[in-house]
Copies of this chain bind each other. A is one copy, B any other.
Amino acid sequence: MNKPERLRAADFAYISIREGLSAGRWPPGSHLRETELAAELKISRTPIREALRKLASEQLVQFEPHLGARVPGWSHQDMEEIFALRVELESFAAGQAALNAKPAQVDELRSLATAIEKAAFGGDAPDNVKISELNNRFHRLIVLASGNRRLNSLVATIIDIPLVVRTFARFDKTAMARSVGHHFDLVEAIAGGNADWAVAVMRAHIHAGRQVMLGTDAGELLGRRH
């Protein structure tokens, strides 16, 4: 792996380790040893440490004093918590995006939605890796278009984790079709400046994703009154 010239070693390490985590390279519970990573990336332990601490602040690895970094496993409860937060934060972001998004951002959202549709239904088999990547960009762009800069760093943790767990392998054809439909609904709501619509679609969209991931069992969470 070649390291680009202008990148700091610590950033290079961060990107590399994060990619490894996304690719599921280390099973949950693995011990990420600084020395090993340093040898592999051909840099010293110092930037490795910095990268691991940053990943820990995003909860992508877990730290214990003198024990170092471990790859966490995602329990059912973890995923429930993450989806609950995504429902709140991303729906808020969608509503704000409807009020604040610039035309260029709306255009980009539309083309991303189209690209996701193509990756899902254009060829013979859906390209799940590409769908994940495009979907990620779509959701991140909505957060960006919200205009709330701090929201960006908050969702950095929670948007990417379902990617790690390879969400889209679980989508069947009809679930994927509806998900694609939500994306176009979102584009239309945001383009039209209809915040309430955007909020509602995003809430529904993420609940649907949670359903595919986790099913109905143990599903009385989320503070819905009855």
Q: Which of B46, B58, B99, B150 contacts A85 (CB 8 A)?
A: B150
- B158, A150: Cβ atoms closer than 8 Å: yes
* Chain B residues, Cβ within 8 Å of A84: 92, 96, 148
Q: Is A196 an interface residue (CB 8 A)?
A: yes
- Prevailing SS type, chain A contact patch: helix
**Chain-B contact segment, one of A17-25, A49-57, A172-180:** A49-57
Among A44-87, those with CB < 8 Å from B are: 46, 49-50, 53-54, 57-59, 65, 78, 81-82, 84-85
Cβ distance A106 to chain B, nearest Cβ, rounded Å: 17
Q: Specify which of A88, A195, A196, A199 lies most central, judged by the most chain B CB atoms within 10 Å of its CB.
A: A88
> Could you tell me the distance between the alpha carbons of A46 and B150 in the complex, rounded to whole angstroms?
28
4 closest A-B pairs (Cβ-Cβ)? A57-B57, A95-B223, A81-B148, A195-B223
Q: Chain A interface (Cβ within 8 Å of chain B)?
A: 8, 46, 49-50, 53-54, 57-59, 65, 78, 81-82, 84-85, 88-89, 92, 95-96, 98-99, 148-151, 153-154, 157-158, 195-196, 199, 223, 225
